[in-house]
Amino acid sequence: MMLRRSATCHATKRTAFTHRRVVPRSRIVVVAAARDDVLLRSLSGSAEVSVLVMDGTKLVAEAQRRHKLAPTATAALGRALLGALLMGSFRKEDEQVQITFQGDGPAGSILAIADTRGNVKGKINNPAADPPLRPDGKLNVGAAVGKGVLAVVRSHPLEPQPYTGMVPIVSGEVAEDLANYLVDSEQTNSALGLGVSLDRDCNVKSAGGWLVQILPFCSEETLVQLESNLSSMPTITTLLNEGCSAQDITERILEGLGVLPEGQAITPRYGPCEEAALKKRMIRAVAALGKQEVADIIQQEGKLEVTCDLCQQTYQFTQQEVDNYIDGVDANVEETAVQA
């Protein structure tokens, strides 16, 4: 791996399904599952390198549960969620980043939306996507994603319009594609590693990632040491499975460079969407069908349910709720017209 101020970003190995000894199922111990998720931001001792390291095991496990994901779909969406968090956290308040993989593989499009406070949510068009394993026996995320376009949108309420960057999907393995985007569209000299590891029962054993960014005036000596550290470092899932913390992994990345003590930490989480705002959007969409269409659905189905694509939360609405909403909108329109 080469890290140079003018060089292309490189992604490290992204292991989705780690090698392990075959042991009796009753003896399997998941070390990382007992830890809380954390996203840690640190600076090297000379403030020349910024490092974000995340343990997002519980977050990806929740995404797997909510979306009922197959193994390869878990790895694909999990990496996208982790990558969005690394790219979106510790930025301007209320900023959001949205990444979309629009590939031609069986997974279909993959979407992840993260904010600067560590909240993330997303979806994959085909939760059952699970192509055959790669020749090395690992989950074939690249085949699930396929070729196509990666789009990244950064938005902020105070900005007149969002910034959008688009690049071709390089490998479909997610980390390499996001690293390629950072250098191609944002001219950020970075290295990025992502990983999702599953156990024998296809549950999430560990999931995490790291993002290394070279800051201005970084010395050549620092770049050489950092390159050596990253080239010899095991995958993020290997380190998490061994019980390493985010602080341990940060120190491993910055070995020989020192770590400033005033690091910042947040707890990443799989959002659910805000219930009040979500229900308001849902009933607005339902009301657009009209009273008669809603009545027909309730008569045929016995109920009217709406499910959010991102958090998979389902809510039921009665005919009366919809009618009241429509009548309230009509009354507001009439009142506005009279005042005008």
Note the pLDDT tens digit of each residue in 202-234: 999 999 999 999 999 999 999 999 999 999 999
Locate 164 and state its tokens. 């959008």
Percent of the chain with pLDDT over 70: 86
Locate 335 and state its tokens. 């009142």
Given this model, what pLDDT does residue 173 score?
Answer: 97
Residue 283 scores a pLDDT above 70: yes
Which stretches of 127-252 are assigned E, i.e. beta strand?
A: 148-155, 163-168, 190-198, 204-214
CATH 3.90.1280.10 domain extents, the chain: 275-331
φ/ψ (deg, to 5) at 236? -60, -40
Residue 133 scores a pLDDT above 90: yes
What's the chain's length in residues?
Answer: 340
Given this model, what pLDDT does residue 19 score?
Answer: 30
CATH 3.55.30.10 domain extents, the chain: 10-270
Split at pLDDT 50, 70, 90, the class of 329 is low
Given this model, what pLDDT does residue 22 score?
Answer: 33
Residue 312 scores a pLDDT above 80: yes
How confident is the prediction for the chain on average, in pLDDT?
Answer: 86
Q: How far is CA 327 from CA 212, 316, 322, 323, 333, in A?
A: 54, 19, 9, 6, 10
Split at pLDDT 50, 70, 90, the class of 54 is very high
Superfamily for domain range 10-270 = Hsp33 domain (3.55.30.10)
Given this model, what pLDDT does residue 34 score?
Answer: 65
Higher pLDDT, 113 or 281: 113
Higher pLDDT, 292 or 72: 72
Tell me which residue of 51, 79, 80, 89 sits closest to 229, measured CA to CA.
Answer: 51
Look at the block and give the residue holding tokens 């519980």: 58
- Beta-bridged to residue 172, according to DSSP, are none
In this structure, the strands spanning 119-124 and 269-270 are parallel
Residue 118 scores a pLDDT above 70: yes
Residue 59 scores a pLDDT above 80: yes
Burial grade of 312 (CB within 10 A; 0-12, 13-18, 19 or more): middle
Given this model, what pLDDT does residue 11 score?
Answer: 40
Given this model, what pLDDT does residue 174 score?
Answer: 97
d(CA 311, CA 111): 12
d(CA 100, CA 312): 18
Taking the mean position of all CA atoms in its chain, how far away is CA 324? 38
Q: How far is CA 103 from CA 70, 76, 247, in A?
A: 18, 12, 35
**275-331: which CATH topology?**
CBS domain Like (3.90.1280)
d(CA 214, CA 253): 13
